[in-house]
Chain A
């Protein structure tokens, strides 16, 4: 049992409710959850779809949100260099924020300690099962809720809560504020490209602010 599992379960539940709240059928919502296994990207995709964004912009936004996985992948690669290719596919699919965090907490300073692959798979399997199970529960609950409840707004509120919780320093606040202002100014851009413009401006502002405050 990992201490992070209640948090994973809560977010999975929210994600399930929000997916059907945004108009997905329960089967499609579960297919998306199993195929992508990326809660924030799934929610962002649904929000953008509801706002009329084309699929290309949605995929780009999801890719940007998932770029952090590339960093985890970079840091995990040396540990799994000797694994077979099918195993590597499994390791990559299961890679999650919490699975990565648990693995590095244990093995980053002792890369030669035994049981690495087993520990990673065990932790990831637990996180994956709790995530998919709680998403299924959320999908079942959300499917019984009438549209008047406005469950689609839970997606925005989820990002609002996550956004506030990731702001830990001034540079991060500058990045969020710049992105927010740009998003409002660029709302008229076609294909909801304002989102990508805002994300780019926010990231650039954050990097600049980081250099100034140091």
Chain B
């Protein structure tokens, strides 16, 4: 990562993280949020996380690969039940990483 990109990334993320926090404490102290926006906000984490994760595990080498020869998909199939059962991020990561490395070793 070159220094300019790094600098812009840090500055931009600082702004994108501070602005929502400061919005009402510092700036629009008396502005109401519409009810529809509040309803929508509830779904932000589930929607954004799914949109971040699924392309990374469903695609390999630029092609959709929904088959068991896709190591990341295999890792997700192992990590999913662990996440569901334990609700524990660390346990999910350990299971998923172990599955990824095993899958890459045996599929290669």
Contact = CB atoms under 8 A, between A and B. Distances in A.
A-side interface mostly = helix
B21 A92 contact: yes
A73 B22 contact: yes
Given A10-B90, A73-B20, A160-B76, A175 B47 contact: yes
A13 to B, nearest CB: 8
A191 interface: no
Contacts of A143: none
B14 to A, nearest CB: 4
Interface centre among B14, B24, B75, B88 (most CB of A within 10 A): B24
Given A153-B100, A163-B45, A206-B43, A63 B79 contact: no
Given A23-B1, A184-B54, A76 B79 contact: no
Interface centre among B12, B47, B90 (most CB of A within 10 A): B47
Interface of A: 10-11, 14, 23-25, 28, 31-32, 35-38, 40-42, 44-45, 47-49, 51, 55, 58-59, 61-74, 76-78, 80-81, 85, 88-89, 91-93, 95, 149-150, 153-154, 156-167, 171-173, 175-180, 182-184, 187, 194-195, 198-204, 206-207, 210
Interface centre among A62, A149, A153 (most CB of B within 10 A): A153
Interface centre among B6, B38, B50, B100 (most CB of A within 10 A): B50
Contact of B87 (A157, A158, A165, A200): A165
A172 B46 contact: yes
B16 A66 contact: yes
Given A88-B25, A180-B51, A163 B79 contact: no
Given A92-B18, A160-B76, A164-B84, A199 B93 contact: no
Contacts of B72: 153, 156
A206 B1 contact: no
Given A150-B100, A157-B75, A203-B47, 6 more contacts: A66-B19, A69-B23, A74-B24, A166-B46, A187-B59, A210-B42
Nearest to B11: A35
Nearest to A50: B56
B53 A159 contact: yes
Interface in B42-70: 42-59, 64
Contact of A183 (B9, B16, B24, B54): B54
A202 B46 contact: yes
Contacts of B56: 47, 51, 156
